[in-house]
Amino acid sequence: MAEDREVAGIRCFEVLGRLSDYLDGELEAAARRQIDAHLAGCTWCEQFGGHMGQVVGRLRAERDGLKLDEAGAKRLAERLAGLK
């Protein structure tokens, strides 16, 4: 059973709390290095961080495929052309 523990001077649940900033490259170098060290020594966080990274990466693909269709674009243009 996994539990919150301290590795490299930082606890799992603190790593969990900073994971988005870590994945987004928003952490300062020292904080980033500390989390790198925790991940290197903690299987649970290393695995979870990898999965979260994949989930976030996959969201980007949701952008593909959906566009305003031609008829919708035409209706929009007509609506805007009628504005006073």
User: Where does this chain bind other proteins (CB under 8 A)?
Assistant: 1-4, 12-13, 16-17, 19-21, 24, 26, 44-45, 47-48, 51-52, 54-56, 58-63, 66-68, 72-73, 75-77, 79-80, 83
DSSP-derived secondary structure letter, 8: T
Nearer to other proteins by Cβ, of 33 and 75: the residue is 75
Q: How far is the CB of 29 from other proteins (least distance, A)?
A: 18
Q: For the chain, report the end-to-end CA distance as a whole number of angstroms.
A: 66
Residue 53, binding choice from other proteins, Zn ion, none, Cβ under 5 to 8 Å by partner class = none
Instruction: Check: CB of residue 45 under 8 Å from CB of residue 38.
Output: yes
Query: In 3D, which of 16, 62, 63 has the Cα closest to residue 39?
Result: 16
